[in-house]
A and B are shown apart, each in its own frame.
Chain A
Amino acid sequence: MKKLMLGNEAFARGLWEAGCSFISSYPGTPSTEITEFGAKYKEIYAEWAPNEKVAMESAFGASLAGLRSFCGMKHVGLNVAADPLFTISYTGVSGGMVIAVADDPAMHSSQNEQDSRHYARASKIPMLEPSDSSEAKDFVKAAYEISEEYDTPVLVRMCTRIAHCQNPVEICDRETPPPKPYEKNFQKYVMMPGMAKKRHPVVEERTSALEVFAETSTLNRTDEGRDRSIGVITSGTCYNYIKEVFGDEYPVLKLGTVWPMPKRKILDFAKSVGRVFVVEELDPFIETHCKSLGLDVTGKDLFTNIGEFSQNYIEGKFAEAMGRGISVRTKTINAEIPARPPVMCAGCPHRGIYHVLKKNRLTVLGDIGCYTLGAVPPLSAIDTTICMGASVSALHGFNKARSLTDEAGNARTADGTARLKTAAVIGDSTFMHSGVTGLINAIYNESDSLIVILDNSTTGMTGHQQNPTTGFNLKGDPCAKINLEELCRSVGAARVLVVDPYNIAECDAAVKSLTADGLEGVSVLISRRPCALLKSVKHPGPIHVDARRCIGCKSCMQIGCPAISFKEGKAVIDETQCTGCGICAGLCKVGAIGCAAKNADPEGRREER
């Protein structure tokens, strides 16, 4: 039976069919749905971990216990999990272990465009790369076979265009291999120098054995072509663009094992064709390998290492290489088309607290989540975004640096820097991921800092996943709930306040008190209100502008609400978008915006079902 499946859904189906029994992951676009779909199979135990390092270590533990395990993450998540990755490479596995890493060329929803294939080579772990949903499922099954036969975790690389593309998949039944008994083996699993020195040669021999495997594996295949004057070496997404443009015109070597690569197969392919093109998005990974084999190939001297490719791009570049032109027939209209960047939703609770932070002219170090969108006008509320947790740690460094003085007692930072008022903002899920270690650092090293936890009771940007503060697990069942206030107090925060971000006056008073001159220690302000998109949240309904009263001062437009616009000198609220949060009404000096009947239920937290 064929079924339309997202690449990520097919990946999860592959996990199930291969007998995977344990999943631990942290959400991250474009990897999230693998774990969400995986959790739907009752035979698989699945959980969200607070971060990718914990997820990978948990999955390793499950493998050690003898079951097939999995963890999934986005490319930047693999940076967090890199520590266990490099050493699990040495220990190997017991039950098969598969790791998904999803890259995001063109940065549809990411802060950088890193190419995770480098991790495979650096950690000496094999990596497979499918080019559609059907292959995603098949490659996962192959990955478990490789994992157990070669005693190694296996990376499977997904990209946005594979992960979030639906195409038909033939589904099969589940086959569960018998669990492996646990055997204590400290020579294999205790990686202290004496033992690790013995494991390193094992890893090198394994890579050599996997190279031999890659030579004969059907994961690497050649599509014959009519015209052998050109040959293309490619993998993953790019294979699709090549076949779209050229069909069966040129021979194509499609690599399914992007690490290690099949040397002999590549050399034989190159010998059988004229000019060799290597087509890959992002870095020259396959190209560099081909060149190390002594091959003269055309790669990044023709194709960009930035962003995504497409069929027109490929057609154009090949035409350029062969000195001919192409003509794509397009029409446009003669009008300036304003950009439509993503924005925080109408009713978003972050909007209220951001307005207050901006009003108080704070320098705000930001973090990763929906609230990153507060960086753009009109809120323009945050100054930095680096990676998960960086707001809290970087704020500590920023504030410490500003407190340093020279021997004469003068500030070492430039004039005026020392006088800035500052804060960090971080979401609840991001705080649990890696903000909490920054908080401990700030307290341990005696920072004078304000950390604002934007607690919207969910992991918003990736589509509403549970986290340790929500009280529900991945399967949707009630579970232990980490209390943010108690956590922050117990590690030594000097002050912990909780405010409702819909209440501007309350937020303003709290921010003023926690940024008062001379205040010492670490303060935590929890801005708590569930995400406006959660199904459990009941909204009071749209509110209206009384056009007779509106004086057109645009006070309500400072908050960048997508439901408010300005027409003929007056503010107008779009009923289809307005949730009735009332933040704009609180800003109106002439009372022209009618408050909704009653505010949303402040206890609306966590009723998601």
Chain B
Amino acid sequence: MITEDKGNIMIVGVGGQGTLLSSRILGSILLSSGYDVKLSEVHGMSQRGGSVVTYVRYNRGKVYSPIVDKGGADIVLSFEALEAARYAEYVAPDGVIVTNTQEINPMPVITGTASYPENIITDLRRAGFNVDAFDALSLANKAGSSKCVNLVLLGRLSRLFRFERSLWEKAIEETVPPKFLEINRRAFALGREA
């Protein structure tokens, strides 16, 4: 469980994986629970399959900076293994990395000018990081669509907070279009219970 007074969370992944939706659901829960909140997003060019990062900061007092800096993240929630490694230096000394084990090759790997590091999760643990790694893609497929990896990961993240489950479900209902609500609910449940 993370601290109740304030927190810094980074949600990282590959453009197109749906990181924004997770941060918005988390943001609405934090706001309705009485926190001051800042969520920073990056739009435009970086979204096109590039490395993307969203910052979520909350505080019982006031949140000033819109970003999380190196060594400051209580949680890095990563949608992809390589991205967990990329942003590892942002993790606070007692912070945690929650990551999908899915691997998506970046263009330099596809073109053969770089290689995808092997054993990222093991290396992160060996370097002293507290890592919760699991296969969110399989759970998303089990829920009905590879596209709801974001809700599976949000479900896993939700275990680190003391908020009632109903609060999460209400926030999902308010954020997700009705057409995709059922599948997203299932994905969240699979992530939370995994």
Contacts A108-B42, A167-B38, A332-B88 hold; do A557 and B123 have CB atoms under 8 A apart?
no
Contacts A166-B38, A336-B117, A337-B117 hold; do A344 and B48 have CB atoms under 8 A apart?
yes
Q: How many A-B residue pairs have CB under 8 A?
A: 196
B103-111, B152-160, B178-186 - interface stretch: B103-111
State which residues 37-84 of B face A: CB under 8 Å: 37-51, 62-67, 69-72, 82-83
- Look across to chain A and name the residue whose beta carbon is closest to the beta carbon of B93: A329
- A79 contacts the other chain (CB 8 A): no
Q: Which residues of A contact B67 (CB under 8 A)?
A: 161, 310-311
**Is there an interface contact between B106 and A165, defined as CB atoms closer than 8 Å?**
no
- A377 contacts the other chain (CB 8 A): yes
Determine which of B40, B42, B106 lies in contact with A339 in the assembled complex, contact meaning CB atoms within 8 Å.
B106
Specify the main secondary structure of chain A where it touches its partner.
loop
B18 to chain A, nearest CB (A): 12
- A463 contacts the other chain (CB 8 A): yes
State which residues 554-584 of A face B: CB under 8 Å: 557, 560, 562, 564-566, 574-576
B131 to chain A, nearest CB (A): 10
Contacts A109-B46, A345-B48 hold; do A338 and B115 have CB atoms under 8 A apart?
yes
Per-residue CB contact flags for chain B residues 81-110 toward chain A (1 = under 8 Å, else 0) read 011011011111100000000001111111
Determine which of B38, B48, B65 lies in contact with A343 in the assembled complex, contact meaning CB atoms within 8 Å.
B48
Q: Which residues of B contact A575 (CB under 8 A)?
A: 146
Determine which of B31, B44, B70 lies in contact with A4 in the assembled complex, contact meaning CB atoms within 8 Å.
B31
- Look across to chain A and name the residue whose beta carbon is closest to the beta carbon of B147: A576
Contacts A330-B70, A337-B82, A370-B48 hold; do A109 and B43 have CB atoms under 8 A apart?
yes
**Is there an interface contact between B82 and A311, defined as CB atoms closer than 8 Å?**
no
Determine which of A330, A377, A574 lies in contact with B111 in the assembled complex, contact meaning CB atoms within 8 Å.
A377
- Look across to chain A and name the residue whose beta carbon is closest to the beta carbon of B110: A565
- B7 contacts the other chain (CB 8 A): no
- Look across to chain A and name the residue whose beta carbon is closest to the beta carbon of B114: A338
**Is there an interface contact between B116 and A338, defined as CB atoms closer than 8 Å?**
yes
Determine which of A4, A161, A313 lies in contact with B66 in the assembled complex, contact meaning CB atoms within 8 Å.
A161
**Is there an interface contact between A331 and B88, defined as CB atoms closer than 8 Å?**
yes
Q: Which residues of A contact B65 (CB under 8 A)?
A: 240-241, 244, 310-311
A366 to chain B, nearest CB (A): 14
A240 to chain B, nearest CB (A): 4
**A370, B64: Cα distance in complex, Å:** 33
**A160, B37: Cα distance in complex, Å:** 17
**A589, B177: Cα distance in complex, Å:** 44
Q: Which residues of B contact A164 (CB under 8 A)?
A: 40-43
Q: Which residues of A contact B71 (CB under 8 A)?
A: 312, 328-330
Q: Which residues of A contact B82 (CB under 8 A)?
A: 337-338, 340
- B133 contacts the other chain (CB 8 A): no
Q: Which residues of A contact B41 (CB under 8 A)?
A: 6, 164-166
Q: Which residues of B contact A339 (CB under 8 A)?
A: 51, 106, 108, 114
Q: Which of A29, A240, A337 has the most CB of B within 10 A?
A: A337
A95 to chain B, nearest CB (A): 31
Per-residue CB contact flags for chain A residues 332-367 toward chain B (1 = under 8 Å, else 0) read 111111111111110000000000000000000000
Contacts A240-B65, A377-B113, A565-B105 hold; do A342 and B129 have CB atoms under 8 A apart?
no
**Is there an interface contact between B43 and A345, defined as CB atoms closer than 8 Å?**
no
**A334, B118: Cα distance in complex, Å:** 12
**A564, B117: Cα distance in complex, Å:** 18
**Is there an interface contact between A330 and B42, defined as CB atoms closer than 8 Å?**
no
Q: Which residues of A contact B106 (CB under 8 A)?
A: 338-341
Contacts A331-B128, A338-B115, A342-B50 hold; do A161 and B107 have CB atoms under 8 A apart?
no
- B191 contacts the other chain (CB 8 A): no
Per-residue CB contact flags for chain A residues 200-214 toward chain B (1 = under 8 Å, else 0) read 000000000000000
Q: Which of A33, A244, A331, A370 has the most CB of B within 10 A?
A: A331
- B120 contacts the other chain (CB 8 A): yes
- A479 contacts the other chain (CB 8 A): no
- Look across to chain B and name the residue whose beta carbon is closest to the beta carbon of A335: B117
**Is there an interface contact between A108 and B45, defined as CB atoms closer than 8 Å?**
yes
Contacts A565-B109, A565-B110, A566-B110 hold; do A461 and B37 have CB atoms under 8 A apart?
no
**Is there an interface contact between A336 and B114, defined as CB atoms closer than 8 Å?**
yes
- B21 contacts the other chain (CB 8 A): no
State which residues 129-167 of B face A: CB under 8 Å: 129, 137, 146
A545 to chain B, nearest CB (A): 14
**A403, B70: Cα distance in complex, Å:** 55
- Look across to chain A and name the residue whose beta carbon is closest to the beta carbon of B65: A244
Would you list 29 pairs from A and B whose C-beta atoms are within 8 A, ordered by A residue? A4-B37, A29-B45, A32-B43, A108-B46, A109-B42, A160-B42, A161-B67, A165-B66, A166-B38, A166-B40, A239-B64, A240-B65, A312-B69, A330-B89, A330-B91, A331-B91, A332-B127, A335-B117, A338-B106, A339-B108, A340-B49, A341-B107, A342-B46, A342-B50, A345-B48, A345-B49, A376-B107, A557-B110, A562-B107
Please list the 3 inter-chain residue pairs (A to B) with the smallest Cβ-Cβ separation, ordered nearest first.
A109-B44, A29-B44, A342-B50
